[in-house]
Structure 1
Amino acid sequence: MIKLGVLASGRGSNFQSIIDSIDRGALDAEIACLVTDNRSAYAIERARLHKIPHVYINPAGYASRDIFYRDIADELQFCGVELVVLAGFMRVVKKPLIDAFPMRIMNIHPALLPSFKGLNAQKQALDYGVRIAGCTVHFVDEGVDSGPIILQEAVPVFSDDTEESLSARILESEHRIYPLAIKLFIEGKLRVTGNIVKIGD
């Protein structure tokens, strides 16, 4: 059984999808801790409901982002975390955390990378007029949504879509493919060569 560490800043719906996957036996994993940078994040309530250890680390209390991420890395390592999962963590991860967990940090982004990186990806897609949107699970590197791609799922864009309706449709896909990507990692089926992830036995 692998130990996961989850980082979240908001409502934590992907956090919940991972909890649910573990509870129904789809993931052979334990969530060792939740780390949040937002004292008001609903993800904290989800952790309480499922008796998952959680900690709030206030970024305002740090002289530099490197020290902030060093403390997060220390907390995760103290909890025995083997894979770090970003679930709506609204910050760009920096080198101290990446160095502590090389190719062991996953993120999910609501676009088909490498298109529409960064914030408001769904709005970017609508403004560009794409017919297909979607989501991407990727390993985290020092760039913004630039790490090796693990899984993607396409979602149609309809002519009457709003940012909210498209986001809701993409979120359903996120909840499907994020636990699957974690499962592939647990089973040792992910191999990273350069910027390419190969999936196999």
Structure 2
Amino acid sequence: MKASIKVCVFASGTGSNFQAIMETESLACEIVLLVCDRPGALVIDKAKQKQIPVHVFDPTSYPSKQAYEEELITVLREREVTWIFLAGYMRIIGAHLLQAYHGRIVNIHPSLLPKFPGKDAIEKAYRAKVNKTGVTVHYIDEGIDTGPIIAQQEVKIYPTDSLKTLTNRIQKVEHQLYPKVINQLIQNEG
């Protein structure tokens, strides 16, 4: 592990991608912080079990998006974070955080972007009756799931699929692809 490359994961929910990243044996960086915008999220417990510090905030307690992003930037800089990886973070990243970490905020999305951006992408693909969807890892920009694509992996949709079976297969791909891409990004830096 390269202790000199410190990263933060932003997550809002159960944390299955966060757990997959944490449990990667040959992770090329050190996760020094979890940022969560939902005080009761299950991902918080997963971080605490691995003794990863957690910064939880409630966006509604700040006067503006700029105010909480400025606080986040301060917390990230205190921990010497150089990369941010979004893993089920359900908030749009604003201008201040984008500027402070330009080209260093990465997201994973459960579709083959540019198809099915935004929330409920798996369900949208399933209901659209397409024969394939997938997973995309991409840089964050000002839009919603519009940043430059780093990697994609296709997942077939079978006629026998339910939304649950499709979701499970997509999550398995996410849990393998995201840590692999993170390692590639970090190793390309060294």
For 2:40 and 2:133, how far apart are their aligned partners in 1? 30
Aligned positions of 1:94-113 closer than 5 A:
94-113=94-113
Match of 2:40 in 1: 40
Q: CA deviation at 1:107?
A: 0.3
Aligned positions of 1:4-83 closer than 5 A:
4-21=7-24, 24=25, 26-83=26-83
For 2:70 and 2:61, how far apart are their aligned partners in 1? 13
RMSD value, Cα: 1.3
Q: Is the 8 A contact 1:38 1:58 kept in 2?
A: yes
* Identical residues among aligned pairs (%): 39
Q: Is the 8 A contact 2:28 2:187 kept in 1?
A: no
For 1:64 and 1:161, how far apart are their aligned partners in 2? 43
Render the CA deviation track for 1:53-85: whole Å, top value 9, x for unaligned: 111111011111122222212211111101101
Q: Is the 8 A contact 1:57 1:72 kept in 2?
A: no
Letter aligned with residue 19 of structure 2: Q
Q: CA deviation at 1:108?
A: 0.2
Q: Flag as ranges the 4+ runs of structure 1 deviating above 4 A.
A: none
Aligned positions of 1:45-194 closer than 5 A:
45-188=45-188
Letter aligned with residue 43 of structure 1: V
For 1:176 and 1:93, how far apart are their aligned partners in 2? 25
For 1:110 and 1:69, how far apart are their aligned partners in 2? 25
Q: Is the 8 A contact 2:36 2:57 kept in 1?
A: yes
For 2:77 and 2:164, how far apart are their aligned partners in 1? 37
For 2:74 and 2:161, how far apart are their aligned partners in 1? 43
Render the CA deviation track for 1:114-151: whole Å, top value 9, x for unaligned: 00000010111112111011000001011000001001
Q: CA deviation at 1:160?
A: 2.5
Q: CA deviation at 1:162?
A: 2.3
Q: Secondary structure at the match of 1:74?
A: helix
For 2:138 and 2:9, how far apart are their aligned partners in 1? 15
Number of residue equivalences = 187
**Residue ranges of structure 1 left out of the alignment (5+ in a row):** 190-200
Letter aligned with residue 104 of structure 2: R
For 1:63 and 1:76, how far apart are their aligned partners in 2? 20
Letter aligned with residue 41 of structure 1: A
Q: Secondary structure at the match of 1:67?
A: helix
Match of 1:196 in 2: none
Q: CA deviation at 1:181?
A: 1.0
Letter aligned with residue 13 of structure 2: G
TM-score when normalising by structure 2: 0.95
For 1:184 and 1:116, how far apart are their aligned partners in 2? 26
For 2:50 and 2:173, how far apart are their aligned partners in 1? 23
For 1:147 and 1:57, how far apart are their aligned partners in 2? 25
For 1:89 and 1:37, how far apart are their aligned partners in 2? 8
